[in-house]
Chain A
Amino acid sequence: MKSKINLLFGLTLIFSSKAVFAHGVTLAKASELSLHRVERLVALCNLGDANQPVNIPGQPGYDPTKCKNDPNKPKKGIEPDYQNKPIGLVIIALAHQNEDEPSFKTTVFQYKAQDGTQRSVDIILDEEGRPLSYQENAGGLAYNAPAWPDKDATTLSENALHYILEGAVTKPELKPYSEKLKSFSIVPGKNAQGQLVAVVDFTADGEAKILRVRMKTNGDFDSAEFVQ
Chain B
Amino acid sequence: MRILCFSLIVLTLSGCRFYYEEKTPQDPLDYSKLTNISYQTVNKEIFQPKCISCHGVSGGVNLESYAEVKKHLSAIERTVIVDKTMPKNGSLSNGQRELLAAWIRAGAPENPEPEPTPEPLKPYFTSIKAKIIDRRCIVCHSTGGAASGVPLGTLKEILDSPRELVLPGNPDESGLIIAVERTDKKRMPPPENGNPLSQEEISVLRKWIENGAPESETSGPNQPNPTPTPSPTPAPLEPTFVSIKQHILTKRCISCHSPGGKASGVPFLTYADLLSSPREIVLPGNVDESGLWIAITRQDDKRMPPTENADPLKADEIEVVRKWIEIGAPEK
A94 adjacent to B230 (CB under 8 Å): no
Q: Does B110 contact A (CB under 8 A)?
A: no
In the assembly, what is the distance between CA of A138 and CA of B260, in Å?
Answer: 16
Interface string of B224-262 (1 = CB under 8 A from A): 000000110000000000000100001110111011111
In the assembly, what is the distance between CA of A186 and CA of B25, in Å?
Answer: 72
A107 adjacent to B260 (CB under 8 Å): yes
Q: Does B7 contact A (CB under 8 A)?
A: no
Neighbour of A47 across the interface among B172, B251, B254, CB < 8 A: B172
Q: Does A124 contact B (CB under 8 A)?
A: yes
CB distance from A74 to the nearest CB of B (A): 9
CB distance from B103 to the nearest CB of A (A): 58
Q: Does A8 contact B (CB under 8 A)?
A: no
* B262: chain A residues within 8 A (beta carbon): 137
Neighbour of B162 across the interface among A90, A122, A129, CB < 8 A: A129
In the assembly, what is the distance between CA of A43 and CA of B179, in Å?
Answer: 9
A95 adjacent to B270 (CB under 8 Å): yes
Q: Does A131 contact B (CB under 8 A)?
A: yes
Q: Does B117 contact A (CB under 8 A)?
A: no
In the assembly, what is the distance between CA of A226 and CA of B49, in Å?
Answer: 80
Q: Does B88 contact A (CB under 8 A)?
A: no
Beyond A94-B269, A95-B269, is A133–B250 a contact (Cβ under 8 Å)?
yes
Beyond A43-B182, A96-B269, is A131–B256 a contact (Cβ under 8 Å)?
no
* B218: chain A residues within 8 A (beta carbon): none
Q: Does B178 contact A (CB under 8 A)?
A: yes
Residue of B nearest to A151 (CB): B185
Q: Interface on chain B toward A: helix, strand, loop, or mixed SS?
A: loop
A135 adjacent to B258 (CB under 8 Å): no
B309 adjacent to A94 (CB under 8 Å): no
Q: Does A88 contact B (CB under 8 A)?
A: no
Interface residues of A, CB < 8 Å — how many?
Answer: 32
A130 adjacent to B310 (CB under 8 Å): no
Q: Does A70 contact B (CB under 8 A)?
A: no
A105 adjacent to B261 (CB under 8 Å): yes
B255 adjacent to A133 (CB under 8 Å): yes
Residue of A nearest to B271 (CB): A97
Q: Does B175 contact A (CB under 8 A)?
A: yes
A130 adjacent to B162 (CB under 8 Å): yes
In the assembly, what is the distance between CA of A96 and CA of B242, in Å?
Answer: 12
* A129: chain B residues within 8 A (beta carbon): 162
Neighbour of A40 across the interface among B172, B178, B269, CB < 8 A: B178
B178 adjacent to A105 (CB under 8 Å): no
Interface string of A110-132 (1 = CB under 8 A from B): 00000000000010110011111
CB distance from B11 to the nearest CB of A (A): 72
Q: Does A145 contact B (CB under 8 A)?
A: no
* B250: chain A residues within 8 A (beta carbon): 101-102, 124, 132-133
Q: Does B301 contact A (CB under 8 A)?
A: no
* A135: chain B residues within 8 A (beta carbon): 252, 255-256, 309-310
Q: Does A92 contact B (CB under 8 A)?
A: yes
Q: Does B115 contact A (CB under 8 A)?
A: no
B231 adjacent to A130 (CB under 8 Å): yes
Residue of A nearest to B251 (CB): A133
Q: Does A174 contact B (CB under 8 A)?
A: no
**B187-232 at interface with A (beta carbon < 8 Å):** 230-231
In the assembly, what is the distance between CA of A105 and CA of B308, in Å?
Answer: 21
Q: Does B173 contact A (CB under 8 A)?
A: yes
**B303-323 at interface with A (beta carbon < 8 Å):** 308-310
CB distance from B168 to the nearest CB of A (A): 15
In the assembly, what is the distance between CA of A136 and CA of B255, in Å?
Answer: 9
In the assembly, what is the distance between CA of A130 and CA of B178, in Å?
Answer: 18
In the A-B complex, list the 6 residue pairs whose CB atoms are closest, starting with the nearest. A122-B255, A135-B255, A129-B162, A133-B251, A130-B162, A92-B260
14 contacts between A and B (CB under 8 A): A40-B163, A40-B164, A40-B175, A94-B254, A95-B269, A101-B245, A102-B254, A102-B258, A102-B269, A105-B258, A105-B259, A124-B254, A133-B254, A136-B309
Other than the given A33-B163, A94-B259, A135-B255, 20 more pairs (CB < 8 A) read A40-B175, A92-B260, A94-B254, A95-B269, A96-B269, A97-B270, A101-B245, A101-B250, A102-B258, A105-B259, A105-B260, A105-B261, A124-B254, A124-B255, A125-B162, A130-B162, A130-B230, A130-B231, A133-B250, A133-B254
